[in-house]
Amino acid sequence: MSRSLKQVAVLLVALLCLDPHSRVSSAPICTHGPSGCHVPSLADLFDRVIQHSARMHSVSNDLHSEFEQYFLPSKNHIGKIYRKCHTSNILTPNGKENAQKLAREELTEVILKLLMAWRDPLFQLHQSMADQQDFNSFSSNKALEMGDMAHELRKGVEKVAEKMRVLGMLGNSVTGLSAAEAMLPLSESGEAMSDYELLYCFRRDSNKVQNYLKILKCRIVPEHDC
Partner 1 sequence: MRNSGAVLILSFIAKLISQAAGVSAPGKPRLTSCRSPEKETFTCWWEPGDDGGLPTTYALYYHLENSETIYECPDYRTAGDNSCFFNKNDTSLWVNYNITVVATNALGKNISDPVEVDVAYIVQPNTPENVTAVVVDEDQGPFVRVSWEKPRTADTRSGWITLQYQLRVKQKKDKEWEEYDAGMQKYYNVFSLHPDKEFMVQVRCKPDHGFWSEWTQTTYVKMPDYIPRERSLWIMITIFSVFIVLILTWTLNVKRNSVKLCLLPPVPGPKIKGFDKQLLKSGKSEEVFNSLVIQGFPPTIDYDDLLVEYLEVYDNEEQELVLDSKDLSEDCMKSKSPSDCDSGRGSCDSRTLLLEKCMVGREGSRSDQHQYSQHGETSWASTESSECQGLEPGSPEFSDGRVKTWPVVFSSPQPHHHYQVEAVKPVYHSVPEILNHSSPHAMPANYQNLQHQDIPQQEGRFGKPACRHSQSYTHGLDTPAPGVSPSRSLEYVEVQRINPENMLLLRPLSDQNREPEGSDYAGEDYSKVKELTSNNILLLQRDTSYQCADGYSQAGQCTTQQPPHPCKPVIYQSHSGMPQEGMRVMGNGYVDTTVLMPSY
| Residues near partner 1, by CB under 8 A | 54, 57, 61, 76-78, 82, 84, 92, 94-97, 99-100, 204, 207-208, 210-211, 214-215, 217-219, 222, 225-226
Residue 42: how many other CB atoms lie within 10 Å: 16
Distance between CA atoms of 27 and 118, rounded to whole angstroms? 34
Residue (61 or 127) nearer to partner 1, CB: 61
**Other residues' Cβ atoms within 10 Å of the Cβ of residue 49:** 23
Q: Minimum CB separation from partner 1 for residue 218, in Å? A: 3
CB of 88 to partner 1, least distance (A): 8
Residue 202: partners with Cβ closer than 8 Å, 6 or more residues away: 60, 118, 121, 122, 125, 146
Nearer to partner 1, 48 or 214 (CB): 214
- Cβ nearer to partner 1, comparing 135 with 157: 157
Burial class (CB in 10 A: 0-12, 13-18, 19+), 183: middle
Q: How far is the CB of 211 from partner 1 (least distance, A)?
A: 7
Phi then psi for 15, rounded to 5 degrees?
-60, -45
Q: How far is the CB of 38 from partner 1 (least distance, A)?
A: 25
**C-beta of 130 vs 218, nearer to partner 1:** 218
